[in-house]
Amino acid sequence: MGSKSATERALNYLRRAPRVTLTDVRDNPGARTKGRLVRKKDNMAGQQYNDLRGAGKPPLGWIWGDFYKPWQRIYPGATFFNQDINLRREYPPLSLLELQRLIDLGWLDPSLPIDLTALCNTRQYRCDPSLRQFGVQLTDEGASVFAAKVNLEGASVFAAKVNLEVQWASETAIAAVERAGGVVTTAYYDPIALTAAVDPLKWFEKGEPIPRRHSPPADLIGYYTDARHRGYLASPPAVEAARSELALKIGYALPDRTDDAQHDMLAARKDPLQVFFGLAPGWVVNLADQTLLKPKNPRLLHYYSGRLDASKDS
């Protein structure tokens, strides 16, 4: 009995069991419970007090009590709206105006790639993974209303030539950056990799090896493999074609990239598993001794290289 696998034992049981009918394919008692539903007596349970009606509103779901019992937790059975409120992803926005300001005031160095880590290091932008925030969202506010930067055509444009790596970008924001000669890439960071990326110093001080980035979840794979969003998993020729298409659509001439001085910087891209430029997953950064500790164990190398097959030889 002990030598047989669970599958074998299950099949043996089935062979000896009487005929299985539909009534046998039902939940055990107590397996599923319905959440509490809103009843008639619960009507107006909350914000009807006069003074509060005109005031600044509390977080979604708060009904007159402490903040740890919002409506959707008291009534989990009411799934018709905001059921997934705790699962939703947030992307704190960063406008082009803010980005240009950070560059002009010296917070960011445009001669180096600008990614989430560089932005968080300025402390002018904040991304908190514990609040379901998943990275930078680039918005196009300030694409044309930045009066100090005027180009030959008489239009005021976003002028910095940057290599940007963000997590979400609108089409017009991508257009504004590419028009100036820059590069935008959208890349996914899973929560653990994100924790390392937003505060690398804290991560290194823990003594933990640099994590490897995992692939995006199923509902985001489509976004990051699309060249129109400049996804990091899209093929480079498709991204080139999307660049030309966007230039035709918005109506600007793509700048030629013969400036070799910045070519290496603009062409720099992280590997899909990499969190920091120049550092590989699995390395431990020893700040006290200013050294890097790299693993040699084949199992670790196999894991950190992203391979899935069971063989330990990498």
Q: How far is the CB of 174 from other proteins (least distance, A)?
A: 12
As measured in angstroms, the least distance from the Cβ of 102 to other proteins is 20
Separation of alpha carbons 32 and 17, rounded Å: 26
Q: Would you say 85 or 273 has its CB closer to other proteins?
A: 273
The residues that bridge with 185 in the sheet, in sequence order, are 165
CB of 140 to other proteins, least distance (A): 7
For 78-98, letters b (16+ CB in 10 Å) and e give beeeeeeeeeeeebeebbbbb
- Smallest separation, CB 198 to other proteins (Å): 20
* Min dist. Cβ of residue 99 to other proteins (A): 16
* 41 vs 296 by CB, closer to other proteins: 296
Residue 156 · residue 145 · CB < 8 Å: yes
What is the rounded CA–CA span in Å between residue 128 and residue 271?
23
- Residues 7, 13: Cα–Cα separation, whole Å: 10
How many CB atoms neighbour CB 175 within 10 A? 22
Residues 6 or more apart from 114 whose CB is under 8 A from it?
99, 108, 162, 163, 164, 165
Q: Which is nearer to other proteins, 123 or 296 (CB)?
A: 296
Residue closer to other proteins by CB (options 220, 279) is: 279
Nearest CB to other proteins, comparing residues 121 and 215: 215
Q: Report d(CA 177, CA 158) in Å as an integer.
A: 7
* Contact footprint for other proteins (CB under 8 A): 112, 140, 143-145, 153-157, 172, 175-176, 207-209, 212, 215, 232-233, 235-238, 241-242, 244-245, 247-253, 264-265, 268-269, 271-274, 277-281, 284, 290-297, 300, 304-308
Got the DSSP string for 132-146? TB-S-EEE-TTSS--
Helix (H), strand (E) at residue 9:
helix 6-16
Residue closer to other proteins (CB basis): 103 or 268: 268
How near is the Cβ of 257 to other proteins at its closest, in Å?
15
Report the interhelical angle of 171-179 vs 96-104 (nearest 10°). 40
Query: Between 75 and 210, whose beta carbon lies closer to other proteins?
Result: 210
Q: How far is the CB of 134 from other proteins (least distance, A)?
A: 19
Q: How far apart are CA 255 and CA 215, in angstroms?
A: 33
> Which of 27/313 has CB closer to other proteins?
313
Least gap, CB of 93 to other proteins (angstroms): 16
First to last CA, the chain: 38
User: Could you tell me if 121 and 136 are in contact, meaning their C-beta atoms sit under 8 angstroms apart?
Assistant: no
